Amino acid sequence: MRKIIVTEFITLDGVIEAPGGNETPHPHAGWQFTYDSPEAGQYKIDELSKVDALLLGKTTYEGFADYWPGQVGNFAAPINSLPKYVVSRTLRNAEWNNSHILRNVDTEVANLKQSDGGDILVYGSATLVKALLDHDLIDELRLMVYPLAIGGGLRLFDENCELKKFALKHSRATAEGILILEYQATI
């Protein structure tokens, strides 16, 4: 069985929205890019090199599909070539190289998890991640916690979220104060 690994950039106050910039009209968009961390960058490259597929929500997929095909380098090559599964009930076409549309989490994503192959990485995709949490489909949760609070925005966990338990698998801090936390689901 494949593992589904969720990876998120997150602030101290739990916001995951607009880490890179223009994904949403957040007043503090681009907060993640204000930290130049070679160690965090290498972690993301290593993380991507250990998976066999990406699982994305529609909004993240559209942003990635708009940006990554025109990029080159040690991060762009695998992200462009890996199989990409986008979960959406409204997306009609997925034209980015090696992309496939899944219509629902409870059956199609669950079946993907049961299929042959290596681990599957989820970037961002807050709505999808919340659905994966609801269906107990997350095996690992990797958080890069940035040392800032931005006061508001989209959060990973809703106030009415059911109790979910995770065990700390690994942790470290970068020189810039970014915490890299890896948790394993303990369903």
Question: Are the C-beta atoms of residues 65 and 82 closer than 8 Å to each other?
Answer: no
* Triad 39, 48, 71: Cα angle to 5°: 90
Round to whole Å and give the CA distance between 3 and 79. Answer: 18
Give the tens place of pLDDT for each residue, 8-24.
Answer: 999 999 988 878 777 77
- Residue 177 has what pLDDT? 96
Do the beta carbons of residue 57 and residue 131 sit within 8 Å? no
Residue 117 lies in a domain: yes
> Structurally, how many domains does the chain consist of?
1
Q: Residue 51 has what pLDDT? A: 98
Residue 127 lies in a domain: yes
Q: Is residue 34 situated within a structural domain?
A: no
Q: Is position 152 within any domain?
A: yes
- For position 91, what pLDDT does the model report? 95
- Distance of alpha carbon 132 from alpha carbon 151, whole angstroms: 26
pLDDT score of 160: 75
The answer as to whether 139 is a domain residue is yes
15 within domain boundaries: no
Range of the domain at 129: 46-175
Note the pTM of the prediction, 2 decimals.
0.94
- Is 1 within a domain? no
Could you list the beta-strand ranges (E) of 12-139.
53-57, 84-87, 99-102, 120-123
CATH code for position 113? 3.40.430.10
Q: For residue 46, give Cα distances in angstroms to 40, 49, 50, 103, 168.
A: 10, 5, 7, 30, 19
**pLDDT reported for residue 47:** 96
Write out pLDDT tens, residues 106-136.
999 999 999 999 999 999 999 999 999 999 9
β-sheet with 84-87: strand ranges across: 99-102, 84-87, 53-57, 120-123, 4-11, 140-146, 179-185, 166-173
In-domain check, residue 182: no
Give per-10-residue mean pLDDT for the chain (187 aa). Answer: 96 87 78 90 95 96 94 93 97 95 95 96 94 94 95 82 90 97 92
